[in-house]
């Protein structure tokens, strides 16, 4: 591969290919290889002349390279938002199979309706509405996980708080991207709904961690002493949980600003 400076400060790499059939120099751009310069077998051309020739086509080259970049990005996005077939919630020992259905595909209404998640029966979810865009369907599933978390985590936290005499003032379930939980100075606890997708012992640890913050806000030795009193494995679990985000399925790791 060679590299050439284009006319507007950018540069691109290219590969030279000789062709017995070619009568003149041709430029080709493919998504897989980028720029290819096809030279007739008997072409006599200095590198300078060749690059001048490429530079003259700068606009055409960048336009096509950008288009391929865009295509590649779209393909990546599509891959991370493939419709999930099931959701496993180890924390509460539940497994849900997901069915996708568009109830009235011929009516305009159904075409426009946003995806909705309904429970069909034991361990069966159905997503209805427009599901041509996987991202919209996954947003509906995220909302379902959040509502599910709302029925589970506040009670779990409340029970633990009463048992350990560590009262908090309020609990909110969110769909955060960077933290599993948080606690403010006045005892307001936020919990990430995606905790449901983690092992039970990890969720227990996060709840304890936040409850201990109602007493001690920082992560100093006193905090760890208090936490270890309730959970002797606290430090070990904290280390293990560094891989927790990787345990989530891809579609739940996709960052969407609207979910903040
Ligand atoms: Zn903390």
Tens of pLDDT, residue by residue over 221-232, are 999 999 999 999
Angle of CA points 21, 27, 30, to nearest 5°: 105
End residue of a domain, out of 20, 55, 80: 80
220 CA distance to ligand 1 centroid (A)?
A: 10
Alpha helices in the chain, H assignment, sequence order:
47-55, 58-80, 108-112, 134-164, 200-213, 221-230, 234-240, 244-247, 250-253
What pLDDT is attached to residue 112? 55
158 CA distance to ligand 1 centroid (A)?
A: 18
What pLDDT is attached to residue 255? 53
What pLDDT is attached to residue 42? 84
- The mean per-residue pLDDT over the stretch 127-144 comes to 82
234 CA distance to ligand 1 centroid (A)?
A: 12
215 CA distance to ligand 1 centroid (A)?
A: 11
203 CA distance to ligand 1 centroid (A)?
A: 14
Highest-scoring range by mean pLDDT, 35-39, 136-140, 201-205 = 201-205
Q: What is the pLDDT of residues 17-26, one digit of tens each?
A: 888 888 888 8
Based on the domain organization, do 254 and 165 belong to the same domain? yes
182 CA distance to ligand 1 centroid (A)?
A: 7
Based on the domain organization, do 103 and 160 belong to the same domain? yes
Domain that holds residue 239: 86-259
End residue of a domain, out of 53, 80, 107: 80
130 CA distance to ligand 1 centroid (A)?
A: 40
Instruction: Tell me the pLDDT of the chain averaged across its residues.
Output: 86
Based on the domain organization, do 8 and 107 belong to the same domain? no
Based on the domain organization, do 118 and 26 belong to the same domain? no
How much is the pTM? 0.66
Based on the domain organization, do 156 and 253 belong to the same domain? yes
What pLDDT is attached to residue 206? 98
- The mean per-residue pLDDT over the stretch 70-95 comes to 79
Based on the domain organization, do 119 and 188 belong to the same domain? yes
Highest-scoring range by mean pLDDT, 6-10, 57-61, 68-72, 212-216 = 212-216
91 CA distance to ligand 1 centroid (A)?
A: 20
Q: What is the pLDDT of residues 165-176, one digit of tens each?
A: 999 999 999 998
Based on the domain organization, do 147 and 47 belong to the same domain? no
Based on the domain organization, do 199 and 244 belong to the same domain? yes
Based on the domain organization, do 90 and 174 belong to the same domain? yes
> Residue 161 and residue 193: Cα distance in Å, rounded?
19
Number of domains in the chain: 2
CATH number of the structural domain spanning residue 213: 3.30.2010.10
End residue of a domain, out of 21, 56, 80: 80
């Amino acid at each position: 591969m060679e590299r050439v400076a284009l006319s507007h400060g950018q540069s691109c790499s290219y590969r030279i290919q000789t062709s017995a059939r070619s009568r003149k120099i041709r430029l080709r751009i493919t998504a897989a290889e980028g720029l290819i310069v096809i030279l007739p077998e008997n072409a006599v051309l200095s590198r300078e002349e060749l690059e001048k020739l490429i530079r003259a086509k700068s606009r055409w080259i960048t336009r096509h390279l950008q288009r391929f970049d865009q295509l590649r990005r779209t393909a990546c996005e599509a891959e991370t938002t493939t419709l999930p077939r099931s959701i496993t919630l180890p924390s509460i020992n539940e497994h849900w199979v997901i069915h996708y259905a568009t109830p009235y595909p011929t009516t305009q209404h159904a075409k426009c309706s946003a995806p909705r998640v309904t429970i069909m029966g034991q361990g069966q979810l159905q997503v209805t509405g427009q599901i041509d865009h996987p991202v919209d369907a996954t947003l509906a599933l995220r909302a379902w996980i959040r509502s599910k978390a709302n029925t589970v985590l506040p009670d779990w936290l409340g029970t633990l708080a009463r048992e350990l005499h560590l009262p908090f003032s309020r609990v909110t379930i969110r769909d955060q991207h960077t933290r599993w939980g948080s606690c403010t100075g006045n005892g307001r606890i936020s919990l990430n709904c995606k905790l449901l997708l983690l092992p039970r012992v990890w969720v227990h640890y996060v709840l304890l961690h936040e409850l201990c913050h109602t007493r001690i806000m920082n992560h100093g030795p006193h905090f760890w002493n208090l936490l270890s009193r309730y959970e002797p494995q606290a430090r070990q679990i904290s280390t293990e949980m560094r891989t927790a985000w990787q345990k989530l399925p891809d579609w739940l790791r996709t960052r969407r600003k609207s979910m903040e």
